[in-house]
C-alpha cells in the first residue's frame, strides 16, 4: 500500500465517524482529519492512537444521549478504523479484551 492510500483511507474513515455539525466532538473529528491529511507519514501512528481514543469518546457520548442508532454507526466505524490501523501497522492490537490478563 502506498502512503497516499493509507492517508486517504484513514481520512475517509474519520469522515465516516464525523458527527453532525454542532454535535459534541464534531470539531475535534474535523481537526483530526485535517491533521491526518497534512501531517508527515511518520505521525500517523500517533494520530491513529488519538483517533481510537476519539472513537471511544464518541461512542460513549452516543450511549449517554440514548442514541442507539448513532452508537451502532460509530461502533462500526470504530471497528473498521481499528482493523485498518492494525493491518496498516499503525498501532498494536486495538482489541484490549484479547490481551492476556
CA distances to 21, 80, 92, 94, 96 from 83, in Å:
26, 5, 10, 8, 13
What pLDDT shows up at residue 43? Answer: 92
CA distances to 2, 73, 98 from 55, in Å:
25, 11, 19
Locate all alpha helices (DSSP H) within the chain, ordered by sequence: 3-17, 26-38, 44-65, 68-87
What pLDDT shows up at residue 93? Answer: 56
pLDDT-derived band of residue 23, with 50, 70 and 90 as boundaries?
confident
Q: Is 86 exposed, middle or buried (0-12, 13-18, 19+ CB in 10 A)?
A: middle
What pLDDT shows up at residue 101? Answer: 45
Judged against a pLDDT cut of 90, whether residue 20 lies above it is answered with no
Cα(101)–Cα(99) distance, rounded to whole angstroms? 6
* pTM for the predicted model, two decimal places: 0.84
What pLDDT shows up at residue 1? Answer: 62
Cα(16)–Cα(93) distance, rounded to whole angstroms? 22
Q: What is the pLDDT of residues 45-100, one digit of tens each?
A: 999 999 999 999 999 999 999 999 999 999 999 999 999 998 888 876 545 544 45
22 three-state secondary structure: coil
What pLDDT shows up at residue 61? Answer: 92
What pLDDT shows up at residue 83? Answer: 92
Amino acid at each position: 500500500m502506498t502512503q497516499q492510500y493509507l492517508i486517504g483511507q484513514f481520512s475517509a474513515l474519520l469522515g465516516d465517524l464525523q458527527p453532525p455539525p454542532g454535535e459534541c466532538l464534531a470539531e475535534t473529528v474535523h481537526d483530526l482529519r485535517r491533521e491526518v491529511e497534512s501531517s508527515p507519514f511518520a505521525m500517523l501512528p500517533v494520530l491513529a492512537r488519538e483517533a481510537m481514543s476519539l472513537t471511544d469518546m464518541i461512542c460513549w457520548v452516543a450511549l449517554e444521549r440514548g442514541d442507539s442508532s448513532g452508537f451502532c454507526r460509530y461502533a462500526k466505524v470504530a471497528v473498521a478504523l481499528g482493523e485498518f490501523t492494525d493491518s496498516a501497522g499503525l498501532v498494536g492490537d486495538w482489541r484490549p479484551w484479547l490481551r492476556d490478563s
